[in-house]
Structure 1
Amino acid sequence: MQETNTGRDGNGAAIRQTGHGPEHGAHLHSKGRGAPRMWAPGSRERDWHPRYDLPSVPEPDADQGHPGNLPTEVSSFVGRRTELTEVATLLSRTRLLTLTGAGGVGKTRLALRVAASVQDDFSDGVWLLELGDLGVAESVEEQLAALFGIEHDPRRGLGPGLRRFLADRSVLLVLDNCEHLLDQSAKLAGALLRHGEGVRVLCTSRQPLGILGEHIHEVAPLGVPAPGRPARAAESGRFDAVSLFAARAAAIRPGFEVTDANYETVTRLCRRLDGIPLAIELAAARLGALSAGQILDRLDDRFRLLTKGNRLALPRQRTLRALIDWSFALCSEAERTVWARLSVFSGGFDLAAAAAVCGEGFPADDVDDLVTGLVEKSVVVRADTDDGQVRYRLLETIRHYGQDRLAESGDRAGVLRRHRDWFRALARRAGSEWMSSDQSRISALFQLEGGNLRAALEFSLADDDGGQAALEMVIALCDHRRAWATLGEARRWLDRALVNAPGRTVVRARALAAAGWAALVQGDRTTAGRLLRECRTLAEELGDAPSRALAVQYSGLARVFAGHFAHGAKLLAEAVDRHRELGDTAAEQLAFAQLTMARCFGGDPAGARAVASGAVQPEPRRSPTSHAWWLWCHGLDRWKHRDHEVAARSLRSALGVRAARGDKVLTAMALETYAWTWAERGDPVAAAVAFGAAEAARRATGCALSGLRHVHVPHLRYAAVVRADLGEETYQRHYATGLRSTVDEVLAGPPPEVAVPSPRERPPAANPLTPRELEVALLIAKGLSNKEIAATLVIALRTAESHVEHILSKLEFGRRAQIAVWASTVLPAREVPPS
């Protein structure tokens, strides 16, 4: 059979070449080192056999449809729909495209799928040259020549036979696994681009070839759901990693599906495996003997667990350990050392931190270059932040591998200590700068470095310095409080640090004050009281005035939270004086804001004067958090005086201070008060949404409403009114909307109006109490004892007790708490003066 080849004459016009191809065509499908050569016996490279022209492209097989040697897929291709289009588009625009990425991320599979999708664009075929099983001493060019059945002379660069063969061909060549033969692959790719106008090259490599004309596409891990997303199995198809696990799991255990019951386990498993396809497939292969939950529990020993791979794959692709071993072997000795040291970072790092932690034994500038080299080898991932900073991270699987290598090196303790020292210094700097106007930057910094701070704390707690470093770090982090996800987390670190450092030190006194504050806001008044008393005693013993001032301040807050505003204000005023004497302006500002809050809730005219003089006039030296506190106090004062429109504007301004939103306690308080103003202004829908948002803020920080009686009592009263206006079902629907809403969404305005009866059209609630009994009931709702009620109403204690007994009898209640609920629920808020 005669075959026709297309070429061009010297002017570029198309010409056709003919060759007798059965002998040649039969070999174009073969590959590897054993492919027969297409020369006449005994011929030399310069002597083309007179019977033969250039080897010709074969007729496509009936079952193949296209010339080439792409393998048939033996398992389904999952996901990457958008990426397939992107890579195919890139390939149409460049002649050399390299897919880079970590081992096991799916570079080869993506390249082959893209190559198969563009076969119609290459009349002379799509050809795969697998380099993974070649040794470093073997010739890539010789393998390419063998693939096409062409004689190769290693002394002459890209052989004349290859040059003539490819000169006028339309071919896509896929060079797979180039990383260990990088120089040879780069040289070959460059020569192919120079000598074959119709040749395009698609490479896969853990490192770019690094030649002119190369375009690079980084293949990322498969998408996984973010932590904290609602567990909905119906959404699993949106995440390629989950879809891949489900597909491979069904092959092992027919009928396996991702359901609401196992969704959280499967998504956590995929996240722990970084969305790396090979790791996910190896994990799914374990489902024959283990459940998904059991696999997840064993992932800390992932390199032993994930060993059941494809027996037909290259040895380094059969287990996760072998896959990462291959990457490690490709690194220089210095890169291996830095890789192991970088494994102590949790959640990412910048170059300054890398130099401080990993630079021992290297010249100052070398760490930057070594990190860059690891980025090029797809070991380290570059992860830019929203504000333009450049950060880096290790995928969790690669980090685990590095930790094993670090343990083997004997250098682990020293690296961890340098890591701890770096982040302790960072915490100190941030603590000293916290009350400045740069709170947004500091807040963003600690959001980025939360994982590293926790890792540094863990090391400090295990270190042999008596726990002092851990206490110092905890105190610094508590000074700005944004480093913690919740108050509960802060308390756990504080409790552990206090147990580890029992010595009578100033650092311990400061930690006791911080622990007392956290317990107080969580509603644990008993523990808070014990910690603050111990703090005060230790501070007096040591003569530590700052800790003494904090103990007084937080004790004052405890009284305010219990509804004892006058006593609380007295203690807070003392704390303000103590901070002023110490010259601690930031602490003085915050204590004075809290004093103003106490006075506003207690109806003290001094509170109104304070907010009138300063709350709406931001001072240049005032931090965003302090200013937000002042705005909240102004809103409280206006609410207290029934000026609800102005109160709402001040509260909106307080919530609008973005730099202060990390103070979730303040955010929750402001949202709660904002809900009261909506209730007062007759919009129960907006009030219900704000109530939900306030609850979400409290949950986010672990703040207990029940422990904040000064807020809890008005909350019960207003929530009862809003429920009555809307009806329970409608209230819960809008409340749930608030739980899902951001602060910005709440501030954007109320949802569409819902037809509800006007509060003023409702019949008055049944009230069997006399006016004096009603007063007593309201004071009970405020949390006052019988003795305090007697003092407030200027009546005898026995008279107050008698009123309480009559109320219980008339309402058929058995406990005082039922009176408080009744007063908050039955009596309309607009008819009751704010407490």
Structure 2
Amino acid sequence: MDRSPTDAPTFAARRTRLLGREQEVQAVLDAVDAASQSVVTITGVGGSGKTSLAVEVGHRLVGQFGRRWFVDLTVVDHPEDVVVHVLHEVGLRSSLGDPHDVLAAELRRGPALIVLDNCEHVLDAAAHLVAVVAAACPELTLVATSRRPLDVPGERRLSLGPLPLTDDGAPGPAVRLLTARANALGAHVDPTGPEGAALLSVCRRLDGLPLPLVLAATQLRSVTPAELDARLAEGLRLPAMRGGTAHQRTMTASLDWSLDLLTPTGADLYRRLGAFVGGFDAALARDVCAPGTPPVQVTQALGELVDHSLLAVDTAGVATRYRMLAVVREHARAHLDDEARTEVTAAHRRAVLARISAQRDRDRYFSPDQIRELEELHDDVVAAIDSAIAARDAPTLVALLTGTIRFWRVTGRIRFGLDRSKAAIAVLEGSGRAVLEYMLADQERILGLLDDAAEHAHDALERIRRGEPAAWLPFAIAVTGDVAAAQGRFDDARDAYRQVRALYDPQTDPRLHALWCANLGGIELEAGQDAAAEQLLEEAREIFAVHPPVWLAGRVQGHLGVLARRRGDFGSAATLLLGGLDDLAPYNALAEAAPLVDELALVLAATGRAQDAADCHRAAAEMRRRMGSPEPEDTETMGGQPALSIAEVVALGRRTAFHRHGTDLLTPRELEVAELVADGLTNPQIAERLVISPGTARTHVERIRTKLGVGSRVQVARWVLEEYVERQTR
């Protein structure tokens, strides 16, 4: 064994301060401290910051390892050269014997740390080297970075994901990295100022990946965050970075590097999976793969893409789900030629339609489970609708929309659904147009566009009455009644619902009858006919009790709460309104919830809870804004404060006197944190003030919320100001 002139160990210098990876750094340090583990592999997609993390860990371990080496394997082209290159970096020359044995002999001389960076293209050789020297050197720690795990004995893995976008409402590490790099280059951006929303949107489009964020930061020297966000919305095109290895200068080069390492089947599936905007399961992946591909090959290819960090995987649900990051998806799409792109896009439409149809066949009234499943599929449903419009694929378009518009209606995406429906109607004729027109009328009614709603409801009803298609007739008539009631024509509304009642049998379709009772009961409530309303609503509630779950059951219970408030029975009113909102919360049914939240505010105000009532009014205003129908008074009452969700409104309404004894529930440290929250400090600022980690600060805030029964930092601050300070100054 000979030593080269460079006998002193060397290690890579820190390039810049590492942001947002403290938990990951600590995870690697904990793994290194474990005596039984000598190999840690940091995996992740290209651009996720694996090298920077490994360098930071190496510098943190300077006191534990006097001998540290950083070995960049990107300069190695051939697997057989890996061990020779490592020997050279360690300062050795192999003149006699197996180079692995020569290296092991040197590393047995005492505690040592080697970081092997970028192992993926020479994975087998790197894994063999690691296995040999780790087994021979009990005081050696090896940290490897790779897009694929090494799969060697004793390996502990850390998968590096994107940086968080937010930190409990404050700018998260991704936003802080973008702004820090931009300002270091001469820009002047502030994530807490008016530019904050655009900066957050930029980070979201780039999935919080460090390399794209650093590349995007260079653009902020010459454009505003809003302009950069608009450019990214048109396509993820980022500049190159000078310096570094070739595959680390641009995201395209980084992902090209990964693509070249895939098998032909894996590479083909990678390009095709770019059709999915959101998550997908193995069945959907099979639907877009090349015709004739055996299912077992698809399964193997999915495993390969996960192995190469090109797919994120989620095994928490019933079926494993996969997802591509946005920058990865754009890269995959760009590698499809025009003919293949057309084929894959059509296959994607068919796959999404099949999933939507199966949902509709299972239960046309929607259960909370169906809502959750459609939420997971929603981004791809929208992509399929847009591609059907572009291809003028009318049958697929109608089928997709009729299965989705009700979902948008139930979950409060009213304006979103309205815009998509209008775009679709422009390319439709015949029966499909009639069905969409009556659904369009319902959305316009909710948004207060009553003239448009009346026109579309009338046109749809005329078409359907001519026989296009008759199955939709009861629903089209009901919409004309709903529009008439919204215009104050209650007799016309009642007449429409009498026509609907003659078209079905309550015994054979009890849930449809419950919907009829619920809708007509709501009309009578609006008309001031309380006795008639109560009779209809009680009948609906009885049916829903036997035939759950139907999302309108929550509205029925809430409407009965309105009747109780009108009678002055505030206790029953609160119970019924909160019960109804509780039923609506799993659906996020904003259209139904907003008026009930306003009604709850009236009950709270009447029982001396003025501030809680004001919070409810703000929450209702925000719900209407999110649906796309803000009223003038709504925008004036928001005050820049975050509004409550439906579930948070329920928690607020059910809160009693417990918050007046909060000082007995909180520990001294939690009281200290609560005061800092009231002072407006973010979790990172609290951590710095109290000399604790941001994660610990976040945990304290979450425990405070739970103990006080509140849903936001604003409510914690209010408790400090109205309850704790008051008690301390008595």
Cα drift, residue 401 of structure 1? 0.6
Is 1:597 the counterpart of 2:522? The answer is yes
Pair 1:252 & 2:185 matched: yes
Question: 1:429: Cα distance to partner?
Answer: 2.6
**What residue is the counterpart of 2:341 in the other structure?**
412
Query: How far 1:747 sits from its partner (Å)?
Result: 2.9
Q: Percent identity?
A: 22
Alignment-derived partner of residue 324 in structure 2: 394
CA separation of 1:246 and 1:608: change in aligned 2, threshold 3 A: closer
Which residue in the other structure is 2:703 paired with?
none
Within-5 A mapping of 1:29-428:
29=8, 68-93=9-34, 94-123=37-66, 125-152=67-94, 156=98, 158-159=100-101, 161-225=102-166, 235-236=170-171, 239-253=172-186, 257-258=190-191, 260-299=193-232, 305-307=238-240, 309-311=241-243, 313-358=244-289, 360-384=291-315, 387=317, 389-407=319-337, 410-428=339-357
Please show how residues 757-772 of structure 1 align to structure 2 within 5 Å.
none
Tell me, in whole angstroms, the C-alpha distance in 1 between the residues paired with 2:615 and 2:194: 30
C-alpha spacing 1:77/1:663, structure 2 compared with 1 (3 Å): closer
Distance 1:120 1:253, change over 3 A: same
Residues 131 and 177 in structure 1, CA contact (< 8 A), matched pair in contact too:
yes
CA contact (8 A) 1:98 1:203 kept: yes
Query: CA deviation digits over 1:27-69, x for unaligned, max 9?
Result: 324xxxxxxxxxxxxxxxxxxxxxxxxxxxxxxxxxxxxxx21
Change (3 A) 1:598 1:286: closer
Q: Who is 1:631 aligned against?
A: 557
Question: What is the match of residue 724 of structure 1?
Answer: none
Distance in structure 2 (CA, Å) of the matches to 1:699 and 1:444 = 23
Aligned position for 1:494 = 421
Letter matched to residue 652 of structure 2: V
1:672 alignment partner, SS class: helix
Shift of 1:687: 3.2
For the Cα contact (< 8 Å) 1:635–1:649, is it kept in 2? yes
- Which AA in structure 2 matches 1:638? A
Shift of 1:383: 3.4
Residues in 1 aligned to 2:518 and 2:45: alpha-carbon distance in whole angstroms: 53
SS of the residue aligned with 1:139? helix
- The answer to whether the Cα contact below 8 Å between 2:4 and 2:91 also exists between their aligned partners in 1 is no
Deviation at 1:456, TM superposition (A): 0.5
> 3-state DSSP class of the match of 1:578?
coil
2:7 to 28, 33, 52: 28
Which of the residues 364, 385, 390 maps onto 1:462?
Answer: 390
User: Secondary structure in 2 aligned to 1:692?
Assistant: helix
SS of match in other structure, 1:274: coil
Contact preservation (8 Å) 2:285, 2:298: yes
Larger RCO: 1 or 2 (CA < 8 Å, sep 6+): 2
CA 1:747–1:389: 2 relative to 1, 3 Å: farther
Shift, 1:128, TM fit: 1.5
- Does the residue aligned with 1:201 lie in a helix, a strand or coil? strand
* 1:252-296 CA distance string (max 9 Å, x none): 216655451322222222222222222222222334544444433
For residue 745 of structure 1, report the CA deviation from its aligned partner: 2.9
Shift of 1:734: 13
- Give the match for residue 607 of structure 1: 533
Q: Structure 2 counterpart of 1:701, which letter?
A: M
Could you tell me which of 444, 447, 471 is aligned with 2:372?
444
Cα pair 2:518 2:536 within 8 Å, conserved: no
What whole-Å deviation, never above 9, does each CA across 1:157-210 have from its counterpart, x for those lacking one? 623x33332223211111111001100011000001111111111101110011
Aligned residue identity for 2:355: L
**1:544/1:131 CA distance change after superposition, 3 Å:** closer
Greater Cα offset, 287-296 or 546-555: 287-296
Q: Is the radius of gyration larger for structure 1 or structure 2? A: 1
CA contact (8 A) 1:488 1:702 kept: yes
Report the secondary structure of 2:75's partner residue.
coil
Preserved contact between residue 685 and residue 750 of structure 1 (Cα < 8 Å): no
Aligned residue for 2:616? Answer: 690
- Pair 1:301–1:175, CA change in 2 (3 A): farther
| Partner deviation per Cα, 1:656-681 (whole Å, 9 max, x = no partner) | 21566432221123222323333454
Q: Is residue 447 of structure 2 the alignment partner of residue 522 of structure 1? A: yes
Match of 1:749 among 647, 652, 655: 655
Please identify, of 398-407 and 284-293, the stretch whose mean Cα deviation from structure 2 is larger: 284-293
What letter matches 2:16 in structure 1?
S
Q: Secondary structure at the match of 1:382?
A: strand
1:470 positional shift: 1.2
Q: 1:633 and 1:578, CA in 2 relative to 1: closer, same or farther beyond 3 A?
A: farther
| Structure that is richer in helix per residue | 2
Shift of 1:740: 9.7
Match of 1:570 in 2: 495
Q: CA shift at 1:353, angstroms? A: 1.1
CA distance change for structure 1 residues 278 and 599 in 2, over 3 Å: closer, same or farther? Answer: closer
Task: Give 1:557's aligned residue.
Answer: 482
Deviations 1:768-801 (A, max 9, x none): xxxxxxxxxxxxxxxxxxxxxxxxxxxxxxxxxx
Gaps of at least 5 residues in structure 2 are: 661-730
Paired residue secondary structure (1:204): strand
Change (3 A) 1:740 1:545: closer
Contact 1:685 1:753 in 2 (8 A): no
Give the stretch that moved more between structures: 735-744 or 98-107.
735-744
Could you tell me whether the CA contact under 8 Å between 1:104 and 1:276 is conserved in 2? yes
Encode CA deviations 1:418-446: one digit per residue, 9 max, x unaligned. 1111111222232344455x711111111
Distance 1:508 1:584 in 2: 27
| Cα distance in 1 between the residues matched to 2:120 and 2:388 | 40
Consecutive unaligned residues of structure 1, counting only runs of 5 or more, are: 1-18, 30-67, 707-715, 720-728, 755-835
The answer on whether the counterparts of 1:443 and 1:482 sit within 8 Å (CA) in structure 2 is no
Q: 1:27/1:607 Cα in 2 relative to 1: closer, same or farther (>3 Å)? A: closer
What is the identity, as a one-letter code, of the residue corresponding to 1:656?
D
Aligned to 1:775: none
Q: Counterpart amino acid of 2:128?
A: K
The CA deviation at 1:96 is 0.4
Determine helix, strand or coil for the equivalent of 2:63.
Answer: helix
Q: Residues of 2 paired with 1:605 and 1:80: CA distance?
A: 62
Opposite residue 280 of structure 1, the aligned amino acid is L
Q: What root-mean-square deviation, in Å, do the aligned CA atoms of Structure 1 and Structure 2 show?
A: 3.2
The one-character-per-residue Cα deviations of 1:330-354 (angstroms, maximum 9, x if unpaired) are: 1111111111111010122111211
What CA distance in whole angstroms lies between the structure 2 residues aligned with 1:679 and 1:243? Answer: 42
Partner residue in 1 for 2:679:
none
Partners in 2 of 1:523 and 1:303 — Cα distance? Answer: 37
SS of 1:513's equivalent? helix
Per the normalisation by structure 1, the TM-score is: 0.73
Q: Distance in 2 between matches of 1:299 and 1:750?
A: 48
- Is the alpha carbon distance of 1:434 and 1:136 closer, same or farther for their aligned partners in structure 2, counting shifts above 3 Å? same
Instruction: Verify the 8 A CA contact 1:98 1:208 in the aligned structure 2.
Output: yes
Does the aligned pair in 2 maintain the 1:692–1:739 contact within 8 Å?
no
Any idea what the Cα deviations from partners look like across 1:514-560, whole Å, max 9, x if unmatched? 01111111111100110011011101212633333222211211232
Letter in 1 for 2:74: G
Letter in 2 for 1:353: L
User: How many aligned residue pairs are there?
Assistant: 656
Bigger mean CA deviation after superposition, 558-567 or 394-403: 558-567
